[in-house]
Amino acid sequence: MKLIQHIIAFFKKQPPGRLIALGFALAILFGTLLLLLPVSVRDDAEVSFVNALFTSTSAVCVTGLIAIDTADHFTPFGQAVVAALVQVGGLGVTSIGVGLMIATGKRVSLKSRNLVKEALNVDNYRGIVRLVKSVLILTVCFEAVGALLSFLVFSQDYPPLHALGISLFHSIAAFNNSGFDILGGLRNLIPYQNNILLNVTTCFLIIFGGLGFLVIIDIMKHRRFKKLALHSKVVIITSVVLLAAGTLLLKATEDISWMGAFFHSVSARTAGFSTYSIGDFSNAGLFVLCVLMFIGASPGSTGGGIKTSTFFVMIQEARSMFTKTPVHSFHRSISKENISRAFLITFLSGSVVCIASFLMCVLEPEYSFMQLFFEVVSAFGTVGLSTGITPYLGTAGKIVIVLVMFTGRVGAFTLLSMWIDRAEPNARYSEETVVIG
């Protein structure tokens, strides 16, 4: 009893960022144990601890990289566990917890509100409970519509009950920007590369899942671009530009259809579904996908990456330096704090990718640099696209990718800042110029 009290007291003392990271870590561990149960594994399959850990991490971090095929190795129960982990990872452990508190009629404490505020990148505590309710309702609505539309496609190739299961799984994975599939044979969505309805449905779910709940709610509330908040405008404009640029560049570098180019431009923004074999892409095409994966989705969404708003702020800062004008957009100034945070997040993220790529080159020398770099960027951006080397990585290589996926989902900035608790110093040093460039 005293041990439980000590554990509760320990968690109460932790800052929000550390609690969020611990929540994801515990969810991954719990998922790993569930996937190792005999009821989760098919009779003719074998799942090692490392592969179960890899799968659980990929699901909770809404990535989609797979060391073993989900359909070929896990029973319907195991597949349901993966879907549940994806849902928990996409919505966030704190949002799920607060949602359960609301459903059971319990009072949401200030500590819980603070956790949700940090997890969803909200500026203040006002309307937190209402926001969580909206997030859960929106998730159910989008996933229900996605499952219905997907069922119209999958029911043509599978028995009704099986098609329903695939449709629900696919809708959850797509809206939460996780590239898992249960079609078997490591095929992903390649058999449906010409199916317009499934391609459009999947893109629809990925795009709205990647915009962020705050943006979706803002769009539903105002319905006019001019009335939207600055954050919503930034996210929408940046997303549209990246989708268009990605589509054009992929079409120019790869022998794929316009639908395929658009689909992979959407999917590279942290979803991880593919309708063509990524291993057959040229280095130019893989580089385009790496850029899109590194930028990723938007804050408060189910996706990863450095985020669209971070990329936008850095572009505006660069424009400001060239034009000698204040940093602004849509007739609003952008604070120095936002600018500093954007560059810090990008620097930390780039550092993680560089260090992990170096380690993978040491641990997996039989693969090319582009294959390993692509794998690392995909893991960090919680995307799930792969050139096909993931199942063949060694144990050490898989552990590196697991750590990168976790860092990408929680955030390099959050992982670093949660261990630093220093008060702002009162002293100020004199300023001196450093020669740059």
Band (pLDDT 50/70/90 cuts) for residue 115 is: low
Cα separations in angstroms, 160 against 102, 142, 153? 34, 21, 11
Band (pLDDT 50/70/90 cuts) for residue 109 is: low
Nearest C-alpha neighbor of 138 from the set 91, 78, 106: 91
Residue 357 has pLDDT above 90, yes or no: yes
Cα separations in angstroms, 271 against 63, 125, 137, 403? 7, 30, 21, 19
Band (pLDDT 50/70/90 cuts) for residue 91 is: confident
Cα–Cα distance measured from residue 32 to residue 57, given in angstroms and rounded to the nearest whole number: 8
Nearest C-alpha neighbor of 363 from the set 386, 387, 393: 393
Q: Which of 13-17, 146-150, 265-269, 355-359 has the lowest mean pLDDT?
A: 13-17
Cα–Cα distance measured from residue 85 to residue 54, given in angstroms and rounded to the nearest whole number: 12
Residue type, 356: A
- Axis-axis angle for helices 395-410, 16-36 (nearest 10): 140
Give the model confidence (pLDDT) of 43-64 as tens digits. Answer: 989 999 999 999 999 999 989 8
Q: pLDDT > 90: what percent of the chain?
A: 57
Residue 332 has pLDDT above 90, yes or no: no
Residue 396 has pLDDT above 90, yes or no: yes
Whole-number pLDDT of residue 124: 62
**Sign of the four-CA dihedral 282, 288, 290, 292:** negative
Q: What is the mean pLDDT of the chain?
A: 86
Cα–Cα distance measured from residue 103 to residue 334, given in angstroms and rounded to the nearest whole number: 39
Residue 99: partners with Cβ closer than 8 Å, 6 or more residues away: 91, 132, 133, 136
Cα separations in angstroms, 412 against 337, 378, 383? 17, 15, 16
Give the model confidence (pLDDT) of 241-276 as tens digits. Answer: 999 999 999 999 999 999 999 999 999 988 889 999
Residue 404 has pLDDT above 90, yes or no: yes
Residue 215 has pLDDT above 80, yes or no: yes
Whole-number pLDDT of residue 432: 74
**Which range is most confident: 84-93, 173-182, 407-416?**
173-182
- pLDDT: is 109 or 41 the higher one? 41
Residue 2 has pLDDT above 70, yes or no: no
Cα–Cα distance measured from residue 65 to residue 59, given in angstroms and rounded to the nearest whole number: 9
Residue 405 has pLDDT above 70, yes or no: yes
Band (pLDDT 50/70/90 cuts) for residue 100 is: low
Band (pLDDT 50/70/90 cuts) for residue 370 is: very high
Residue 93 has pLDDT above 80, yes or no: no
Question: H-helix or E-strand containing 200?
Answer: helix 196-211
pTM of the model: 0.88
Whole-number pLDDT of residue 204: 93
Residue 437 has pLDDT above 80, yes or no: no
Cα–Cα distance measured from residue 179 to residue 376, given in angstroms and rounded to the nearest whole number: 16
